[in-house]
Structure 1
Amino acid sequence: MEAPRENHHTEWGWYISVQHPEDSAAEELRPLLSNELHRQGSSGVSFGFSVFNLMNAIMGSGILGLAYVMANTGILTFSFLLLIVALVASYSVHLLLSMCIQTAVTSYEDLGFFAFGLPGKVVVAGTIIIQNIGAMSSYLLIIKTELPAAISEFLTGDYSGSWYLDGQTLLIIICVGIVFPLALLPRIGFLGYTSSLSSFFMVFFALVVIIKKWSIPCPLTLNYVEEFFQISNTTDDCKPKLFHFSKESAYAIPTMAFSFLCHTSILPIYCELQSPSKRRMQNVTNTAIALSFLIYFIAALFGYLTFYDKVESELLQGYSKYLPHDAVVMTVKLCILFAVLLTVPLIHFPARKALTMMFFSNFPFSWIRHSLITLALNIIIVLLAIYVPDIRNVFGVVGASTSTCLIFVFPGLFYLKLSREDFLSWKKLGAFVLFISGILVGNFTLALVIFDWIKK
């Protein structure tokens, strides 16, 4: 029995009945996954490379914003919230895999279609588009902010006003010359060839954050022409806070949800996994989330212990300010920028796929349509990167809306809809709690973020 491929308006008959036992459904799913691997000309991706692929899907610009979150929540509050979000992300993947086994569906959009018909598919696809546009714009925002600073650190003398030190100009050149041509490739691969390299860069970044904690004295000082200006007056500013709450704390859970979102990649990675099974894919997920949690926590902790309350919403900005022309910082900055640059075209793929499934699922491939969709997405993310002033705004809005939907709301809602278990079963109660908490947390944090904007 085959799952849907091109025609997403096929009758319900091609789905496996959810009344089937899980092991029976799993037997039905295995040929589908094998056919997918055969179609791609592959025997499957190993466990280790699948972990790298998923880590690449998880880790991104979020690693640069978590130190700011810790500064506005305190070490213990941050640790508790980050652990909860990581566990919830793992549990929601468990629910997605259970529904994948029951329905033989291998994409998030088709899962929405199976649960609620065409409206469900449109809502899921739209959410994925907004989420990926937010992720791409956050990456480009990093390039716009950090690339001019990285170039200027290699120069001697005053070159202010030069076009190659203007972030917007560099952003447009890079998007036209690099991002757009790479994004045009029709089969660029869902996660791409930079997975292990990107993971290495993130580990390298975390190690540099640890090392440089002892290179920046506290109270903080700025060095201008060999004269030091102290900007932090008391040693009280250098004491870490275990608990701390402010209006900026509203960005905590949205940023964490944004940082752990990998759910649009779970089912494609499952399809490509060697010897695919629910247990094996869950182990891949748990390993990737645990390693990502460790890297996130280390980078956030030592970033906070370096700058304390002066930590920037985008961590690299602090190192540019307090350690200009530092060779190691310059190297890690270029590594992060390189990883970000090569990740942007890859994120185009699921956004374009979701948009195509919404409006053109029954049409054959067309280079003109393919190019126009890619161009439209590119223009949107460039405009957002140019006009959004702060990366935490992206984390706040996208994290509180689409990220909470993809991690909390949709997995819980779809499981409640599709599962034939008794409502009082542990798994269904867990799905209900996931669904309700996602709605409450998402709406509450989004309201706080918007209120913070209005107040400013």
Structure 2
Amino acid sequence: MAQQQINEEGTTLISPNKAARESKGSMISASFNFINSIIGSGIIGLPYAMNQAGLPFGLLLLVVVAFITDYSIVLLIKGGNLSGSNSYQSLVRNTFGFPGFLILSALQFLYPFIAMISYNITVGDTLTKVFQRIPGVGPDHIFAERHFVILLSTFLFTLPISLYRNIERLGKVSFLSMVLTLIILIIAVIRAATLGPQIIPTENAWVFAKWNTIQAVGVMSFAFICHHNSFLIYTSLEQPTLSNWSQVTHISVGSALIISAAFAVAGYSTFTGYTQGDIFENYCRDDNLATFGRFCFGFSIITTFPLECFVTREVVSNIICCRDLSKAEHVALTMLIVAVCTAISLAYDCLGVILELNGALSATPLIFIIPSACFLKLSPGRWYQGENRLPVMLIITGLFVMITGLTMTVIYPQDCSHGVEMFYCADSNITGTVPPE
């Protein structure tokens, strides 16, 4: 990723000297980078989104969210071309002034910050079951305690890696993260074929739609958001034209949709109404294949956490300092961010609610509302004419999803469990008897 600098207005820009030295990439390489930026940890919650919305309607919603993501990414670059901007921040600053820049900065802070909390929760859920497969480590062992595992991973891995000042040192993990995600998808498909038939589906498992649809949209938005990387990948094209960018976007979002839909169907069809926010909480503790999947996902999360910390730290430094941080300030701010995230993840541990909250509160406005609002502000036509109609619809839809999703998440929080074996994992129940009351 290109190094960044802060201009006199506090807007993050790509360093021109660094950008000039970077080699331009082909559309294929740009597409791969974009797919990698979309397919990440958010995919783990998509089976839960199907449980919230109903599988048929959930898949339809997934396609709609992917279409909106595709459209808003192209809209973002259109707005950048109209305003002469080369980043999401500068686009909003040029369009809505400093108040708009502050709102965007708050959202860009909240999204990775809440994501880091969800990463810690996931690490605590997944790695505890991995450690329990080690001989001598039982349910009462300290390595089976999720709070200890979260603290251990923080001190040994996420905090030290997050202290890097240059994000380029973290770039090598992106390909590995993509490979691990594909391995997890393969495991989910295998278990859908082998474990799924042994678990009797819950009542109304295959209904067309369920009442928690809006919350499901929040989870899907969290999984698909990639707008913060759009300008960087666009400028990496050998020929950065809107036509080429549209092709890259269509290929990338389409490929991500296929992978996401496959994982969502495989995960939900295995566990139906029992599907949890972290799908690996549904697999049995003695399932060696699922344990390997937990290890892959846990490792992927640990290597992804510092990337989100980098973004969070940059947003804070841009707003508060408007300059490069000193070494002491860099260390202090990093430790503060990691400490707060860790404290929250130790105190609250329901991943499904965290995914819904992040999707509704930050991902939805970043995908639905802000790109559309910037384009409408810059477009010469009236809001109800021509190509301005769809952005208006997206703003209205985004506001509805955001407000309704937040309300439902607060009023109707979903139940979750951690480290508890599901009833079907017992030998006597694996054929699908009704769980005990």
Scaled to the shorter chain, the TM-score interval is 0.7 to 0.9
TM-score by length of 2: 0.87
Pairing of 1:72-83 with structure 2 (within 5 A):
72-83=52-63
Partner in structure 2 of residue 396 of structure 1: 356
Instruction: Output the amino acid matched with 2:158.
Output: V
Q: Aligned match of 1:445 in 394, 397, 405? A: 405
Partner in structure 1 of residue 270 of structure 2: 306
Q: Aligned match of 1:214 in 171, 189, 193? A: 193
Contact 2:75 2:372 in 1 (8 A): yes
CA distance in 2, matches of 1:48, 1:184: 32
Partner in structure 1 of residue 330 of structure 2: 370
1:212-236 alpha-carbon deviations (Å, 9 max, x no partner): 123215453xxxxxxxxxxxxxx56
Q: Aligned match of 2:161 in 182, 201, 207? A: 182
CA distance in 1, matches of 2:228, 2:10: 22
Instruction: Output the amino acid matched with 1:167.
Output: R
Q: 1:162 to 1:98 in 2, by over 3 A?
A: same
Contact 1:55 1:288 in 2 (8 A): yes
Please report how far the alpha carbon of residue 5 of structure 1 lies from its aligned counterpart in structure 2 after TM superposition.
Answer: 5.2
Instruction: Output the amino acid matched with 1:283.
Output: Q
CA distance in 2, matches of 1:237, 1:118: 51
Please report how far the alpha carbon of residue 89 of structure 1 lies from its aligned counterpart in structure 2 after TM superposition.
Answer: 0.6
**Unpaired stretches in structure 1, ≥5 consecutive residues:** 12-31, 221-234
1:60-110 alpha-carbon deviations (Å, 9 max, x no partner): 232221112212322220111111110001111111000111223222222
Contact 1:56 1:191 in 2 (8 A): no
Contact 1:411 1:435 in 2 (8 A): no
Q: Aligned match of 1:168 in 147, 167, 172? A: 147
Q: Aligned match of 2:118 in 138, 153, 156? A: 138
Please report how far the alpha carbon of residue 400 of structure 1 lies from its aligned counterpart in structure 2 after TM superposition.
Answer: 0.8
140-149 or 383-392: bigger deviation: 383-392
193-202 or 401-410: bigger deviation: 193-202
CA distance in 2, matches of 1:195, 1:425: 42
Q: Aligned match of 2:316 in 330, 355, 361? A: 355
Q: Is 1:6 matched with 2:6?
A: yes
TM-score by length of 1: 0.84
Partner in structure 2 of residue 415 of structure 1: 375
1:186-206 alpha-carbon deviations (Å, 9 max, x no partner): 111397222222222222211
CA distance in 1, matches of 2:276, 2:95: 42
Q: 1:452 to 1:238 in 2, by over 3 A?
A: closer
Please report how far the alpha carbon of residue 330 of structure 1 lies from its aligned counterpart in structure 2 after TM superposition.
Answer: 2.1
The structure whose Rg is larger is 1
Please report how far the alpha carbon of residue 269 of structure 1 lies from its aligned counterpart in structure 2 after TM superposition.
Answer: 2.0
1:304-355 alpha-carbon deviations (Å, 9 max, x no partner): 1111222222111111x2xx33332222221111111111111122222222
1:276-326 alpha-carbon deviations (Å, 9 max, x no partner): 22222232222221111111111111111111222222111111x2xx333
DSSP-derived class of the 1:72 partner: helix
Please report how far the alpha carbon of residue 149 of structure 1 lies from its aligned counterpart in structure 2 after TM superposition.
Answer: 0.6
Please report how far the alpha carbon of residue 433 of structure 1 lies from its aligned counterpart in structure 2 after TM superposition.
Answer: 1.2
Count of aligned positions: 412
Q: 1:162 to 1:448 in 2, by over 3 A?
A: same
Please report how far the alpha carbon of residue 117 of structure 1 lies from its aligned counterpart in structure 2 after TM superposition.
Answer: 1.3
Please report how far the alpha carbon of residue 237 of structure 1 lies from its aligned counterpart in structure 2 after TM superposition.
Answer: 3.4
Instruction: Output the amino acid matched with 2:175.
Output: S
Please report how far the alpha carbon of residue 38 of structure 1 lies from its aligned counterpart in structure 2 after TM superposition.
Answer: 4.9
Contact 2:126 2:295 in 1 (8 A): no
Please report how far the alpha carbon of residue 238 of structure 1 lies from its aligned counterpart in structure 2 after TM superposition.
Answer: 8.0
CA distance in 2, matches of 1:37, 1:7: 14
CA distance in 1, matches of 2:396, 2:371: 11
1:112-169 alpha-carbon deviations (Å, 9 max, x no partner): 211121111111011000011111111111101111111111x234634332222211
**Unpaired stretches in structure 2, ≥5 consecutive residues:** 417-437
CA distance in 2, matches of 1:236, 1:148: 27
Pairing of 1:17-416 with structure 2 (within 5 A):
36=16, 38-39=18-19, 41-153=21-133, 155-157=134-136, 159-189=138-168, 192-216=171-195, 218-220=197-199, 235=200, 237=202, 240-246=205-211, 248-319=212-283, 321=284, 324-361=285-322, 363-416=323-376
Q: 1:343 to 1:275 in 2, by over 3 A?
A: same
Contact 2:74 2:245 in 1 (8 A): no
Instruction: Output the amino acid matched with 1:9.
Output: E
Q: Which runs of 4+ in 1 moved over 6 A?
A: none
CA distance in 2, matches of 1:190, 1:405: 30
Q: 1:37 to 1:77 in 2, by over 3 A?
A: farther
Query: Among the aligned pairs, what percent are the same residue?
Result: 23
